[in-house]
Amino acid sequence: MAGPITMIDLFAGCGGMTAGFKAARGYKPVMAVEWELAAAATYAANFGEQHMHWGDIADVPDKLIPEVDLIIGGPPCQGFSNLGTRDVNDPRNKLWKEYIRFVRHAKPKVFVIENVDRFRSSSEFALLLQETAPGGLLEEYTLSHDLLLAADFGAPQRRKRAIVIGSRIGKIEMPERTHEPSELLGLRTWRTVRDAISDLPRVPETTELPSISAEFFGKTVPGSFKSHDLHLGRRPTPLSLARYDHVPPGGGRFNLPEELLPRCWREKKTGTTDVMGRMRWEQPSLTIRTEFFKPEKGQYLHPQWDKDDPNNRVNRPITHWEAARLQTFPDDFVWCGSKIEIARQIGNAVPPVLAQAIAEHLKPYLRGKVPAARTADTLTTLESTRV
């Protein structure tokens, strides 16, 4: 039997990406780096404390970086205004220099970067492209990149993410989608909010996490919490409740009557329609971000809303458990941190099923069972040397 594919997860957060790679089987995390204590603790509680380096990536000495088959995880992008800036001394590029340092020392066959949808028009991406060009620090690597929609890979969520696959074993194309909005291509249909959360109690029993704590990295953190501990209600004011009650599925702040509008919205007649939005049962959710517990931040109201029966409406934002479900975390995943920290971990994560699809796609290449495509450059070289 082939040995495990060893991997490092950089900027690991709570480990959404690692969860997907582990679910694909055959992958073994040997190092992870994350500087937020609560996120690192969540990672440690699920995947082991020993190989998690809790701290700034810049403080990991070269000699501690093991050689591995794969690096996953991308630095958070800090800015997009400087499109085309090639200045490697730009402080915003610091984290990318760290990433490149890890790739140079760990010498992975493949690396996978996940980032926000606008990533490919950022100065950070320009830097990466520059380094994979001939003469660059990553010149051995060939990149493929695309925007992938999590719903196309089995997540009940329309989350668009830029994915980059860097390979030094020949170019590896992007995975093919497995799901589609409606049955046109014979794929499975998109999973919906109903599929993900309809079995969870509509009325959460509590508003607070249990008072328990755990030790990780010599520090005490709140946790570890099970999924059902995360089913937390809130205490909305009567005014907030009246607002929520006016919003039908797919609707938002534009459904509020004038007298219920906060002044800022009354004065701003245009803007995004997601705000104070209500989900739809039969569709995937929109992107779950880090403040999903605030209805004014997006389309986060529970989808249950009966037009004719006001008693059959659920007037609250989704709970942390529901958000974790929409992000496809399995129910046996455990969590550490405050309510706000856990929400950040959930909203920042790569949906594990998306990561799993990428992991399954890469596995045969990493095991040497599928020869990756020769790149145009390689082909030209081969062609021109044939006499």
Binding site for ligand SAM (CB under 6 A): 11-17, 33-36, 39, 56-57, 73, 76, 95, 348-350
H helical segments located in the chain: 16-23, 37-47, 94-106, 123-132, 193-197, 238-245, 263-267, 320-326, 339-348, 352-366, 376-385
> Which residue lies nearer to ligand SAM by CB, 19 or 143?
19
State the maximum Cα–Cα separation within the chain, in Å, rounded to a whole number.
Answer: 82
Tokens of 165: 């696959």
Is 108 within 8 Å of 100 (Cβ atoms)? no
Pairwise CA distance, residues 119 & 122, whole Å: 5
Find out whether the peptide bond into 122 is cis, omega within 30 degrees of 0: no
Q: In terms of CB distance, is 9 or 169 closer to ligand SAM? A: 9
| Residue (60 or 169) nearer to ligand SAM, CB | 60
Instruction: Dig out the tokens for 333 from the structure.
Output: 């995943």
Is the CB of residue 234 less than 8 Å from the CB of residue 317? yes
CB closer to ligand SAM, 99 vs 305: 99
Which residue's CB is nearer to ligand SAM, number 45 or number 169?
Answer: 45
Residues marked active site are found at 77
Rounded Cα distance between 186 and 176, Å, is: 13
Query: Phi/psi zone of residue 117: left (φ > 0), alpha (ψ -120 to 50 degrees), beta?
Result: alpha
Nearest-CA neighbor of 31 among 72, 59, 3, 2? 72
